[in-house]
Amino acid sequence: MKYSLRPAVVAATWLAAPALAQTVPPPAISVIGEANVSVAPDQAQIDGGVTSDAKTAREAAEANNAAMGKVLLALKGAGIEGKDYQTSRLSLQPQFATPSKAAERAPGIVSFRASNRVTVKIRDVTKVANVIDVLVGAGANEIGGINFTVTQPSKHLDEAREKAIADARRKAEIYARAAGVTLGEPISISEEGAPVPLYRGKMAAPMAAGAPVAQGEETLSVTVGVTWAIKGSQ
């Protein structure tokens, strides 16, 4: 006796069809929302130090140690806590004479240069110019760049996040109107990458004491990806 399997196969196909249909994602609109907030920095870092030249390595090192000791004492006397400054570079290098074209021979060592730099954290940005004055007044002959930062950006980033969601909704509504559909509820929200400052206010520190310092603003940026459901045709 022969049996036909065709009806069973058809029935199985009908049963599987709804399950396959459920895997199709619902109609949706996906957009990227962006927002920036500008914040005045509340902390600064500045590099300063001393470079000393002498005929011998020992003389250069001793002169540099003495000069840097005065700079560190001056920082302490200005009320800068020890935890807020640390050595960032220490070097002792030979200096070579420029070879004469007539005398075709390698240049020799003519002196040594010792350098010692510290990075100073300034917790009150209104005192940046004063710290520069202290460094220069104590004998620092190397002043590096000033970096301004926001120490606690979380609350400002939360403001940017709200603005980024509003920007995403604005864009999604434009697409929905253009497509003739009605925007539904958000299906998913994700923050694209870690929030980072677009610009960190900075300037090269002047060598002259009493020079003005502009702290500027730091711009914090947030980007979110939002997928919105579509309710249907209008």
Domains and CATH numbers, the chain: 26-40+152-233 (3.30.110.170), 43-97+109-149 (3.30.70.2970)
Nearest to 47 by CA among 127, 153, 122: 122
Would you write out the chain's pLDDT as a tens digit for each of its 234 residues? 444 444 443 344 444 445 444 577 788 999 999 999 999 898 999 999 999 999 999 999 999 999 999 999 999 999 999 999 999 999 999 999 876 654 555 568 899 999 999 999 999 998 999 999 999 999 999 998 888 888 888 888 999 999 999 999 999 999 999 999 999 999 999 998 776 554 444 444 444 445 566 667 788 899 999 999 998 644
In this structure, the dihedral spanned by the alpha carbons of residues 175, 180, 183 and 188, taken in order and rounded to 10 degrees, is -50
Residue 120: how many other CB atoms lie within 10 Å = 23
pLDDT in tens, 204-234: 444 444 556 666 778 889 999 999 999 864 4
Residue 26's pLDDT is 83
* Residue 199, pLDDT score: 43
Name the amino acid, one letter, at 59: E
Given this model, what pLDDT does residue 197 score?
56
This prediction has a pTM of: 0.65
Q: What is the pLDDT of residue 63?
A: 96
73: left (phi over 0), alpha (psi -120 to 50) or beta: alpha
Give the pLDDT of residue 104: 56
Q: Is 80 helix (H, G, I), strand (E, B) or coil?
A: coil
Strand runs labelled E in 133-217: 142-149, 181-191, 196-199, 202-204
